[in-house]
């Protein structure tokens, strides 16, 4: 691709496991505004790789809600459930280099290896199955990606909103899953491959995925891809400090559309983000010209 053809490309990649809630809309809005302010294209990808929880009716609702909000996409929708052969080919490249191995551990096995101080909910795999001899175990196995030895797996990057980040993959992440035990594709592999092949240059998402970025940067480089830029957002939280989720039915798009117009929702989110001084009604398009990341704080936002 020469410079004349280069264009910034962002994406919104929801999982169709329920109706979008206000936190999802916040991520979609800022992703859309950021790429539109750069004159780029916004790609819609439906991350429906979880066969047990994904539903086509939710994908249809997500697209209807985005169009109602004025957040229209330039390319897509692309469905991850249709891209299995692509993921298979990329996984084989890693396997051929000895970068992956089968893991037979249950979640209970893994939790039993965690030290008492590791109580923040993050589970770091200790490599139990890393050096198993072939034939030692049988039955279904997840596939894990090897990370470097301790001290050699340092990944540093500059987040577009939270600045310099440095993570030791070995001690903070461990060998991570690229294909689940039930055969479903894992998030890390699918998202890295899709971002690369779809030419995504900028990823905007909630800060709860901040620790995924170094894993994705490492995996992208091992596959020979240039990773995108990452920009993480503060989370929308309830009054108890818990981030909004699809369980908060009063703030899902079904409930919101029954009470508000699209401009009301966009205006309130823009105000909470620091993009306007009051929660005045506004369209997403009207916010593009004045969009600036420096106006957005880093603290989580209470709703």
Q: d(Cα 174, Cα 170) in Å, to the nearest integer?
A: 5
Q: d(Cα 236, Cα 245) in Å, to the nearest integer?
A: 9
Phi, psi angles (nearest 5°) of residue 230: -115, 135
- Contact between residue 194 and residue 258 where contact means Cβ atoms under 8 Å apart: no
Q: d(Cα 227, Cα 192) in Å, to the nearest integer?
A: 8
The pLDDT score that the predictor gives to residue 114 is: 58
Give the residue carrying structure tokens 């903070």: 172
Average pLDDT over all residues of the chain: 92
The pLDDT score that the predictor gives to residue 117 is: 42
Q: d(Cα 181, Cα 193) in Å, to the nearest integer?
A: 20
pTM above 0.85, yes or no: yes
The pLDDT score that the predictor gives to residue 116 is: 43
- Contact between residue 226 and residue 196 where contact means Cβ atoms under 8 Å apart: yes
- Contact between residue 78 and residue 198 where contact means Cβ atoms under 8 Å apart: yes
Give the residue carrying structure tokens 């909470």: 272
Q: Which helix (H) or strand (E) holds 87?
A: helix 84-96
Beta bridge partners of 158: 164
pLDDT in tens, the chain (303 residues): 444 478 999 999 999 999 999 999 999 999 999 999 999 999 999 999 999 999 999 999 999 999 999 999 999 999 999 999 999 999 999 999 999 999 999 887 777 665 544 445 578 898 999 999 887 888 899 999 999 988 889 999 999 999 999 999 999 999 999 999 999 999 999 999 999 999 999 999 999 999 999 999 999 999 999 999 999 999 998 877 788 776 666 689 999 999 999 999 999 999 999 999 999 999 999 999 999 999 999 999 988
- Helices and strands in the chain, H and E counts: 10, 12
Q: d(Cα 109, Cα 114) in Å, to the nearest integer?
A: 10
178-188 confidence digits (pLDDT tens) = 999 999 999 99
Give the residue carrying structure tokens 């401009």: 263
20-37 confidence digits (pLDDT tens) = 999 999 999 999 999 999
Q: d(Cα 127, Cα 236) in Å, to the nearest integer?
A: 35
The pLDDT score that the predictor gives to residue 118 is: 44
Q: Which helix (H) or strand (E) holds 30?
A: helix 22-37
The pLDDT score that the predictor gives to residue 246 is: 64
Mapped onto helix, strand or coil, the DSSP state of residue 159 is strand
The pLDDT score that the predictor gives to residue 115 is: 54
Q: d(Cα 96, Cα 94) in Å, to the nearest integer?
A: 5
Give the residue carrying structure tokens 């620790």: 211
The pLDDT score that the predictor gives to residue 123 is: 80
């Amino acid at each position: 691709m020469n410079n004349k053809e280069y264009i910034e490309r962002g994406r919104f990649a929801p999982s169709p496991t329920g109706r979008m809630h206000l936190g999802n809309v916040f991520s979609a809005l800022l992703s859309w505004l950021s790429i539109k302010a750069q004159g780029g294209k916004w790609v819609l990808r439906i991350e429906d790789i979880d066969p047990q929880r994904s539903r086509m009716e939710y994908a249809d609702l997500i697209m209807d809600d985005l169009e109602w909000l004025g957040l229209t996409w330039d390319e897509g929708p692309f469905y991850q459930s249709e891209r299995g052969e692509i993921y298979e080919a990329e996984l084989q490249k890693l396997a051929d280099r000895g970068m992956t191995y089968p893991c037979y551990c249950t979640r209970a096995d893994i939790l039993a290896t965690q030290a008492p101080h590791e109580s923040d909910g993050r589970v770091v795999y200790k490599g139990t199955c890393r050096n198993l001899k072939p034939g030692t175990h049988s039955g279904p196995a997840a596939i894990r990606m090897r990370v470097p030895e301790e001290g050699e797996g340092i990944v540093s990057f500059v987040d577009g909103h939270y600045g310099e980040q440095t993570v030791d993959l070995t001690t903070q992440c461990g060998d991570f899953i690229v294909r689940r035990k039930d055969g479903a594709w894992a998030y890390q592999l699918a998202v890295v491959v899709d971002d690369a092949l779809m030419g995504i240059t900028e990823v905007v998402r909630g800060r709860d995925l901040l620790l995924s970025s170094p894993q994705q940067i490492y995996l992208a480089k091992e596959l020979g891809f240039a990773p995108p830029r990452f920009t993480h957002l503060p989370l929308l939280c309830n009054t108890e400090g818990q981030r909004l989720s699809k369980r908060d039915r009063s703030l899902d798009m079904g409930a919101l559309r029954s009470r508000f117009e699209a401009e009301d929702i966009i205006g309130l989110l823009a105000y909470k983000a620091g993009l306007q001084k009051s929660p005045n009604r506004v369209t997403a398009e009207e916010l593009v010209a004045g969009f600036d990341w420096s106006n957005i704080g880093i603290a989580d936002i209470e709703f």
